[in-house]
Structure 1
Amino acid sequence: MDNPCVAHRGYSSLAPENTIAAFKLAMEQEQVSWIELDVQLSSDGVPVVIHDFRLERTTNGSGNVRDHTLAELKKLDAGSWKSKKYAGERIPTLTEVLELTKGKVKLNIELKTVGNMYPDLAASVVGKLYGVWKPRDYVITSFETKALRQVKRIHPEIPTGLIINASPADLARQLEELGCHFLSIGYPYVTKSLIKEMNSKNIRVMAWTIDSSRIMRNIAALDPSIMLCTNRPELWNKANSRKLSKLFKPNSFK
């Protein structure tokens, strides 16, 4: 099994998601070639790495991320919710993550926004990447098509990808209109016909979020280029073992 393994928000099953600890742990895994992460903006315009729009689930803070300055966000504990072992872990800036990972792993950077929530998010993220990172080493993705269009207006050559948890009949047309050559799609929608169509359009596909070694192996069998996004990178090794051969169902995911 040669499919690239993508660590979802870092090694998020063991370490607190979207933290330096989670990214370091993911980078220690030989099979991990990509890391997926989420970016928003502090109230003073600094790109910070966190998934939820609100702070309560993954920090000891409260309220919206966008209503706090970077200094305020940096005071929060982003690790204790996961384990006492990670008490004091902080919300990282995108710059910190880029410095940690450059030349070591590729990044799938999700612009976490809806509508006009973050008018400057696309420009802020592109500003950190353009001319510093090679385009082959990252992709900027989002559910929000407006954000993807903003990226392309800033620099048309920046690699972008649409995130979707569906498979509309006109998906290829949507991707073409957005200028995307990357598709991040919920794994239940990954089929042989979808992969055939995406391959014909030179669109790379990432299936998310797969936390079953059996499903991982089944999807990998469709095409070796499919990127497998998981909270549990160790499952890539398990799925790659011969012990799972009896579990594989050739007719799955037709």
Structure 2
Amino acid sequence: MHNLCVAHRGSSYSAPENTLAAFRQAMEFPFVKWIELDVQLSRDSVPVVIHDFSLERTTNGTGLVRDKSWDELRRLDAGSWKSLRYRGEPIPSLVEVLDLCKGKVHLNIELKTTGDMYPGLEREVLRLIISRGMEQDVVLTSFDQQALRRVKELMPGIGTGLITDIRPADLSTRLSSLGCSFLSMAYPKIDAKLMTEMTKQGVAVMAWTADQAGAIRRLVSLHPDLMICTNRPETWDQAVNGTSLLGNTLLTIKRWLIR
């Protein structure tokens, strides 16, 4: 087995999603080789790491991300909603995440946009990736096909991937026309036939988001190259390798002791 474990928004079952705390926890697991995260723009065009277009679910703020300056966003509490242990955990900027992860894990950076919601998003994200020399360490993904086209116009050599929760009949053609070498698909839609087709096309596939051991084991059985995205990397060893939970339990205790 050499399926790659991708931590969805970091170790987001145990820590507040899309925060440095969640990313640090994910990187404690040696089998986590990729982290998935979401990027939007602040009002003053700073790439920030947050999933929702609005602030209410994962912060103590209100309103839309795009209406707030970076200075306003960085002052928000993005941790207390998950647990009081994470009170004061901030929304990170993309550059903070790049600096944390460089040389340690690869990043699947989802461009959270639709239409002309975030003019310049692709350019700003690429600028930071290039400034850190991480062009080979990332893939830029999106539901928005226009965003993927803009990325390729700006930097043809960067890896890009389409995100989809459906399986269209023209999927192979669509990926080819977009220049995508990566497919991020809802895991119930993935089967062995799809994996054979994508492998022949040279497209890497990531399944999202599987948290139950049975679902992870089914995905592993489909193809050794299928990447599996999970909110719960702490269950990976047990689900995939059938190992004991003791190691993960000790790691959890260690985290409590150092906080």
TM class, shorter-length: over 0.9
Structure 1 gaps of 5+ residues are: 245-254
Aligned CA distance change for structure 1 residues 68 and 118 (closer, same or farther; 3 Å)? same
The number of residues matched between the two structures is 244
CA distance in 1, matches of 2:196, 2:80: 44
Deviation, structure 1 residue 133: 3.2
Matched, 1:63 2:63: yes
Aligned counterparts, 1:51-130, within 5 A: 51-130=51-130
Residues 82-106 of structure 1 deviation map (CA, whole Å, 9 limit, x = unaligned): 0000000000000000000000000
Residues 133-183 of structure 1 deviation map (CA, whole Å, 9 limit, x = unaligned): 344311000000010000000010010000000111110000000000000
Deviation, structure 1 residue 243: 7.3
Match of 1:42 in 2: 42
Aligned partner of residue 234 in structure 1, secondary structure:
helix
Residues 8-64 of structure 1 deviation map (CA, whole Å, 9 limit, x = unaligned): 000000000000000000011111000000000000000000000000000000000
Aligned counterparts, 1:1-254, within 5 A: 1-130=1-130, 132-242=132-242
Aligned CA distance change for structure 1 residues 131 and 90 (closer, same or farther; 3 Å)? closer
| TM-score normalised over the length of structure 1 | 0.94
Aligned partner of residue 108 in structure 1, secondary structure:
strand
CA distance in 1, matches of 2:59, 2:243: 39
Q: Which has the higher helix share?
A: 2
CA distance in 1, matches of 2:103, 2:56: 33
Aligned-partner residue type, residue 87 of structure 2: A
Please give the root-mean-square deviation of Cα atoms over the aligned residues, in Å.
1.2
Aligned partner of residue 62 in structure 2, secondary structure:
coil
Aligned partner of residue 218 in structure 2, secondary structure:
helix
Deviation, structure 1 residue 242: 3.8
Deviation, structure 1 residue 241: 2.9
CA distance in 1, matches of 2:137, 2:38: 16
Identity %: 56
CA distance in 2, matches of 1:21, 1:231: 14
Aligned-partner residue type, residue 27 of structure 1: M
